[in-house]
Amino acid sequence: MKQLRKAGGTKVRTGQSLRTNAEGAIWGTGDISGATMLLDAEGMKVPHPIPYQGSKRNLAIQILAYFPDHIDNLIEPFAGSGAITLAAAVRGLAEGYHLNDLNAPLIELWRMIIEEPQKLAKQYERIWRDQHDDRREYYSRIRNEFNQTRRPHHFLYLLARCVKASVRYNSKGEFNQSPDKRRMGALPTTMCDHILGASHLLNGKTKCTSEDYKSLVKRAQPEDFIYMDPPYQGVCGDRDPRYLKGVLFDEFVEALCDLNARDISYIVSYDGRTGDKVHGRTLPPSLQLRHIELAAGRSSQETLLGRSAVTYESLYLSPALEKRLQTCRRNTKPTDGQLVLLEAGN
């Protein structure tokens, strides 16, 4: 059962009942009982099983404020840790979900989180408990094993322990990120809560694929809704080791142009600025997108340098979405000075 709840000036749906999932754990839609899970700013427990650099977890509520009321299928072509999908699923915003990422081991991890959560949680616990004698050497061993077998629980452990939870591959496609000696990785009980919570929210209604975003968005239909968070332009390019492949600006603009021509609703998160310094190129006015800036706080680098410039992340709303929002009751006005609206195309 669903109801509308007023939160932070935005009406969001929230589920009601507690259910027992296939593997026996008790989770409630919209009120997940995972003891170790933190509440978000709207008081919702949102699971986050995958630590991931660039996760939109902290901006999710601001981004969801621009989602249409009814979504048949929410597609994330650049899913990463799926922060937006999870935040939407907790609120019952879509009937179905589609997680896609070019990084195939990441998508295998998602499949296992969703379909075999208990098994994955046990595997993570085993690997985590075995790490204590020589953690650095142990990390290298797991990384070697992952590079040979691509097993999802190895990848989860590496993401939990590596520097900045940042995915990095060498030219041979081997994961080569170093361990962060201060990161032990989430406690098995915490990880278990997050894995089971995500599985409960997504099992039975989520498709997982690993392909280039261009082929995926070509198949999108007008009833779908796409949230796109491509890699930062600064880290794009074929030679960048952080991702398997970059997203070229012109190709990206062309894909958006095609979505516009087919009347498909989408939101793009695309770089932004710190103070006056703009990161990357802005999307062109010809796409007729509404450009919004989300205050993302002070960057750690700015803080280290003793500067106070705030970072704003850019959000672009498609023309088809704008039309859809005009017929929705949901409030998409800035709240608490968090959002700054700019003219389209700026």
Ligand X SMILES: C[S@@+](CC[C@H](N)C(=O)[O-])C[C@H]1O[C@@H](n2cnc3c(N)ncnc32)[C@H](O)[C@@H]1O
Q: Rule CB under 6 A: which of 171-200 touch ligand X?
A: none
Phi, psi at 128, each rounded to 5°: -70, -40
Shortest distance (Å) from residue 10 CB to ligand X: 20
Nearer to ligand X, 212 or 322 (CB): 212
Shortest distance (Å) from residue 84 CB to ligand X: 6
Nearer to ligand X, 62 or 103 (CB): 103
Non-local CB neighbours of 218 within 8 Å, separated by 6+ positions:
255, 258
The Cα 98–Cα 11 span in angstroms is: 24
The Cα 176–Cα 156 span in angstroms is: 14
Shortest distance (Å) from residue 65 CB to ligand X: 16
Angle at 340 (CA atoms; ends 337, 346), nearest 5 degrees: 175
Shortest distance (Å) from residue 171 CB to ligand X: 16
> With binding defined as CB under 6 A, does residue 78 bind ligand X?
yes
Nearer to ligand X, 131 or 229 (CB): 229
Helix (H, G, I), strand (E, B) or coil at 166: coil
Which range in 138-146, 185-193, 227-235, 310-318 contacts ligand X by CB under 6 A?
227-235
The Cα 187–Cα 153 span in angstroms is: 14
Structural Rg of the chain based on CA atoms: 20
Report the residue number whose CB is nearest to ligand X. 80
Nearer to ligand X, 14 or 55 (CB): 55
Decide the pairing of beta strands 71-76 and 224-228.
parallel
From the list 144, 177, 145, the residue with the least C-alpha distance to 162 is 177
Helix (H, G, I), strand (E, B) or coil at 2: strand
Nearer to ligand X, 25 or 247 (CB): 247
Shortest distance (Å) from residue 230 CB to ligand X: 6
Of 229, 271, 293, 313, the one binding ligand X (CB under 6 A) is 229
Site string for ligand X, 36-55 (x = CB under 6 A): ----------------x-xx
Of 12, 63, 83, 339, the one binding ligand X (CB under 6 A) is 83
The Cα 159–Cα 10 span in angstroms is: 34
Site string for ligand X, 135-164 (x = CB under 6 A): ------------------------------
The two tokens of residue 143 are 């990384």
Per DSSP, the residues of 285-316 read GGG-PEEEEEEEEE-HHHHHTT--PEEEEEEE
Site string for ligand X, 100-139 (x = CB under 6 A): -xxx------------------------------------
Non-local CB neighbours of 272 within 8 Å, separated by 6+ positions:
278, 279, 293, 294, 296, 311, 312, 313, 314
Site string for ligand X, 237-256 (x = CB under 6 A): ------x-x-x---------
Shortest distance (Å) from residue 249 CB to ligand X: 12
Q: Rule CB under 6 A: which of 206-225 touch ligand X?
A: 212-213
Beta bridge partners of 294: 313, 339
Binding site for ligand X (CB under 6 A): 52, 54-56, 77-78, 80-81, 83, 101-103, 212-213, 229-231, 243, 245, 247
